[in-house]
Amino acid sequence: MTRHMFGWDYPPGAANDPSAPYNQQDPPCEVCAKSCDNCICPECPVCQSNGDPACYKNHGLVLNAEQIQSQEAAKEQEKIEAAFWEDYAKSHPEEE
């Protein structure tokens, strides 16, 4: 990868590289479990960050009802997905 006057010049095929950092999905918020674009966490009055679990432990932030509901919905979705993949593994033993 070289630097040019108009930006970076990536080698052919680099734009389609699934492991490139710009092709990675952002993980969900650690507090509300929503995507980073839809995070509902308030800004910390001490450090001005959003969605940082340390702010709830160290800076006195308290989870609101919407955050708790979002966490519960994410846990329920994880259970549904785990059950789906467990059933899938049982019905497709040859793919193990």
Q: Which amino acid is at 17?
A: D
CB 55 within 8 A of CB 46: yes
Cα angle for residues 35, 39, 42 (degrees, 5° grid): 160
Higher-confidence residue of 21 and 69: namely 69
- 2: its two tokens: 């070289």
Domain boundaries, the chain: 23-90
Higher-confidence residue of 47 and 9: namely 47
pTM to 2 decimal places = 0.66
pLDDT tens string 40-75:
999 999 999 988 999 999 999 999 999 999 999 999
Structure confidence at residue 36 as a pLDDT band (50, 70, 90): confident
Q: How many CB atoms lie within 10 A of CB 32?
A: 23
Q: How far apart are CA 51 and CA 49, in angstroms?
A: 7
